[in-house]
Amino acid sequence: MSAERKATAALTVALLALAVSIVASLRLAANRSATQATTGYTVAGDWSTSELHTGTLNIARSQSGVAYAVEIPAARAGDVLFVSGEAQVTNEHAYNVFVGSTLLLAGSARAVTGESFTRGDGSNVTPAIHHGVVTCVQTLTLSRAIHRAWINMVLSVTATQARPGDRMEINPGSGQLNVMLLARRDNASRSTRG
């Protein structure tokens, strides 16, 4: 692929990531306003991070890793989490790499297992695409109270043609994870904002 085509593809991916981020932010803002106005819920917490936890994933080992994690100090049964996340990956290989994503309610910021609340999404990042954007947008109504838990955006990679040591980069500075906690108004007295 020529340098010009790579630059054009990178710009296209960056613009797509920006558009996804804007749409997710607008969706969260609209949900916040509509939810507070029409239901018995209020915003009890609002957290965001762009701190990358895992920088590369081993393709040959079908490795999973936490891209982003947000700590939730406490929430009660019946509270609702609105979550949006995005990450950008780079395929430097001559073969397709499948990149999967899921959102977890987990016991630590590094956990790749926990209570998944997405169906799991994924797509192939081809050599021609070079940069791929992975997005997750989901809500979770808590069935139980939690005390210090994390929402983790977990990415996994795999490819049948991968050789030992082949890795895929999760691009730093190109993603984020946003979590908004909506509490029932009768729970709102313990509200915290991050």
Inside any domain, residue 118: yes
Q: Is residue 193 part of a domain?
A: no
109 within a domain of the structure (yes/no):
yes
Q: What is the pLDDT of residues 102-129, one digit of tens each?
A: 999 999 999 999 999 987 788 999 999 9
Helix (H) or strand (E) holding 121: strand 121-125
Count CB atoms within 10 A of the CB of residue 181. Answer: 28
Residue-number span of the structural domain to which 150 is assigned: 3-186
Could you tell me the two tokens for 30? 């609209």
Task: Look at residue 159 and tell me if it is in a domain.
Answer: yes
Strand partners, 116: 104
Q: Could you say which DSSP state residue 160 is in?
A: T
User: For the chain, what is the domain count?
Assistant: 1
Lowest mean pLDDT among 32-36, 38-42, 90-94, 148-152: 32-36
The 10 Å Cβ neighbour count of residue 87 is 24
pTM for this prediction: 0.78
CATH classification at residue 81: 2.60.120.660
**What are the residues whose beta carbons fall under 8 Å from the beta carbon of 46, sequence distance 6 or more?**
179, 180, 181, 193, 194
In the structure encoding, which two tokens stand for residue 27, read together? Answer: 């969706």
The CA–CA distances, whole Å, from 120 to 8, 84, 92, 117, 191 equal 29, 14, 24, 9, 30
Q: For position 194, what pLDDT does the model report? A: 46
Do the domain assignments include residue 194?
Answer: no
Locate 44 and state its tokens.
Answer: 């009890």
C-alpha dihedral, 41 to 81 to 145 to 67, nearest 10°: -160
Please indicate, yes or no, if residue 53 is contained in any of the structural domains: yes
Give domain status of residue 115, yes or no: yes
pLDDT of residue 13: 55
